[in-house]
Structure 1
Amino acid sequence: MFDVGATAVRATILAVDDARRLWTLLEPLHAVTYFAPEAREAADAVGLRGFWMGYVAQRAAPLGAVGPDAVWACFHGFHRERITRALPDAWGFADPATCLAARLDGADRALRRLLGDVEGPAVAEAADLAWAAAAAADTQGRVLAAANQGLPRPDAPHLALWQAATTLREHRGDGHVAVLVTHGVGPVSAHRLKTAAGESGSLQESRRLDDAVWASAGEGLLARGWLDGDGALTDAGREARDAIERDTDRVAAGPWRALGGTATDRLAELLRPLALSAADALPFPNPIGLPRP
C-alpha cells in the first residue's frame, strides 16, 4: 500500500540534504560579488569608497536607502560600528538603484571571465531551474531574501542565475540568523563557534573584531560549556554547532522541496562545473565558511 506520509517524510529529508548540497554549488557563483576584482572595480566606478562600503551598500541595496541599524540587524554577523562606517554615507555617493546596477555589472564581468561561455544552453537551463527555486522560497520573516526575490529577472541567463543564487543564499542566511537567535548565539559567538569548528581562521580579522570583544564571546561560550579553556569545541559545543547547522539546512529546504528531487538533481548537475570555475575567484578558507565545491 502506498504510504503518502512516509513519502512526504522522505521528500523532506532529501530536501534538507539538498539545501546544503545546493548551497555549496550556488554560493561560489554568488560570492564573486565579494571576491572578484571586477566587483570591486564596479563599486569603485560608481563612487563607493573602498571594499567595505561597496560590500555593505551593494548587499543592502535591495532594501532601499535604509539606515545602519536595520542593516546591522539583517546582516547579523558584524559589529554595529562596522556598519555605521559604511551607512548612511554610502547613499550619498551612490543611491540603491545605482548600487544594484553596479553589483550586476561586477557579477557580469566576473562570471564572463570565470565561466567563459555564459550564453550556452546549460547556463540558461540552470538559470531557469534556480529562478524557479528562488521564486518558490517562502520569504516571510526573511527580509534580505524577500528584498532580493522582489527584484526583476535580468535578461542575460548568467545574471538571472546569479540573482537567483543571491536570493537563495539570503534565504538560507536569514534562516541561519533565526536559528542562531533561537539558540541564543550572538554574532561574535557564532564566529567563535565557526572558528573553533575549523571552518575559518580569519573571522576575527575579517570582521575587524577587537581582542576584548572576541575574548568576551569566548568567555560566554566557555560558561555554556561549549568551548574549553583553550578555545576548542567541547563535546557539548560540537553538538550545539551540529544542531545549528542541521536546523539551518532544515529551514532552508523549502525551495528544494518545491522544485522537486529530479529538477534539483538536474540543477546540481548543471551547477557543478560552473561552481568549480567560479571558485577560482574565492580564497579557501574564506570568511563565509564555504568549502570547495
Structure 2
Amino acid sequence: MEARQLWLRFEPYHDVTYFTPESRAATDALGCKGGWMGYFGMRAAPLGVASPELVTAVFYNFAPRMVRRALPDAWSVATPSEYLRARLQGVDGALRRLLGSVDTPDIAEAASLGRRAALASEVAGRPLAAANRALPWPIEPHLALWQACTILREARGDGHVAALVAAGIGPCQALALYAREHSLDPAYMRTARGWTVEEWEAVADLPGDLPAVEAATDAAAMSPWEVLGETGTKRFIDLMTPLALRIAEANEAMRVNPMALDPVRELAVPGWNT
C-alpha cells in the first residue's frame, strides 16, 4: 500500500481539528480574533509558547506575515494548555456530528491500531510529530484515534518539509509547484497561505522536482506501517476508509483545500455506505 493511500485515510480524520464549525466555536469561546488565530494557536500549542519565527519555520508554507498576524497575540488570549483543551473539545463535537455514533467496535479497533502506528513513528527531526506524541492520550477511542491520526499526519508533514529543504524548494515555490501540478487556482493557494502577488510571481516559474519530493516524503512515512505489518496495515485501511469517506462527504469546509485532498473521489468504494 502506498503511503499516500494511507494518508488519504487519516488526513480527513485529523482535519476536523481546524476546519469545522465546532472547532471555530471552541476557539471563538477562548477569545480568538478570527479563525486563523485559532488555527495557529491550536496547531502550535503542543510546542508551548512558540514564537512566530519558530511556527513559520516548522509550518513551512505560510508567509511570515500571516503567522505574525496570529502570533504571539494568540498566547495573550489563551495558554497553550487552553488551546489544547479547546481543540479536543472541537474535535469531539465535530466527530460526533460527522460520524453519528462514535462508540463503535470498529473505531475502538482503529484507535488501537492507529496508536501502535503513531508510537512507531520516527520523531527525530520531526518537531510537530514529537510534540504531539508527547501529549497525554485521550481515553475515549474516537479521540485516541484522532490523536494517532494527528501524530501520523504531522510526522508525514515534518518529513515533507525535510524533503523540500533537501531539494532546495522554498515555501512559496513549493505552493506554486503544487498548484501547477494539481491544477489548483494560484490565487486561492497564494491567498490561503498569505503570500503577495509579487512573492508568488518571483518563484512561480522556478523549476523543482516535486514528484521526487513526494516520493521521498512517502518513503520517510512508511516506518509506522512496517511495525503494524501487512495484516495490521490492511485492517487499519479497511477500518479508516468508511470513516474518511463519511467525514469527507459531510465536512463542507474541506470541499476546497490547499492539499488537493479529495477522498470522496480517490477512495470511492461502491456500496461502502449501503
- TM-score class, shorter: over 0.9
For 1:117, give the aligned amino acid: S
For 1:48 and 1:84, locate their aligned partners in 2 and report how far apart those are by CA, in whole Å: 14
Q: Is the 8 A contact 1:149 1:167 kept in 2?
A: yes
Q: Residue in 1 aligned with 2:165?
A: 181
Contact 2:27/2:38 (CA < 8 Å) preserved in 1?
yes
C-alpha distance after superposition, 1:209-246 (max 9, x if no partner): 11100001114x1xxxx3xxxxxxxxxx5xx1211111
Amino acid at match of 2:103: E
1:288 aligns with 2:259: yes
Distance in 2, Cα, partners of 1:49 & 1:139: 32
Once the two structures are superposed, what CA deviation does each residue of 1:32-68 show, in whole Å capped at 9, x if it has no partner?
Answer: 1222111100111111211110000100000001111
RMSD, aligned α-carbons: 1.2
Kindly indicate whether the alpha-carbon contact (under 8 Å) linking 1:199 and 1:285 is maintained by their aligned counterparts in 2: no
Partner of 1:154: 138
Which residue in the other structure is 2:191 paired with? 205
Q: 1:264 aligns with which of 233, 247, 268?
A: 233
Partners of 1:48 and 1:168 lie apart in 2 by 27
Q: What TM-score comes out, normalization by structure 1 length?
A: 0.86
Please tell me the residue identity of whatever aligns with 2:174: A
Q: Does 1:86 align with 2:70?
A: yes
Q: Is the 8 A contact 1:61 1:99 kept in 2?
A: yes
Instruction: Tell me by how many angstroms 1:199 deviates.
Output: 5.3
Partner of 2:217: 248
Q: Which runs of structure 1 show a deviation greater than 3 angstroms over 4 or more consecutive aligned residues?
A: none
- Identity of paired residues, percent? 49
- Residues 182 and 260, structure 2, Cα contact 8 Å, conserved in 1: no
Aligned partner of 2:12 in structure 1 is 28
- Give how far 1:192 is off: 0.3
- What letter is aligned with 1:213? E
Counterpart Cα distance in 1 of 2:72 and 2:118:
29
CA 1:199–1:170 in 2, change beyond 3 Å: closer, same or farther? farther
Q: Which residue of 2 aligns with 1:232?
A: none
Per-residue CA shift, 1:111-131, capped at 9, x if unaligned? Answer: 000011101100000001001
CA distance in 1: counterparts of 2:183 and 2:102, whole angstroms: 31
Q: Is the 8 A contact 1:40 1:51 kept in 2?
A: yes
CA contact 1:199–1:289 (8 Å) conserved in 2: no
8 Å contact 2:113–2:232 — kept in the other structure? yes
Aligned-partner SS, 1:87: coil
Larger Rg computed on CA atoms: 1
- Match of 2:272? none
The alpha-carbon deviation at position 284 of structure 1 amounts to 3.2
Aligned mates of 1:119, 1:104 — CA distance in 2: 17
d(CA) in 2 for partners of 1:113 and 1:158?
12
Tell me, yes or no, if the aligned pair for 2:65 and 2:194 is still in contact at 8 Å.
no
Q: Following the alignment from structure 1 to structure 2, what is the Cα–Cα distance between the partners of residues 155 and 119?
A: 12
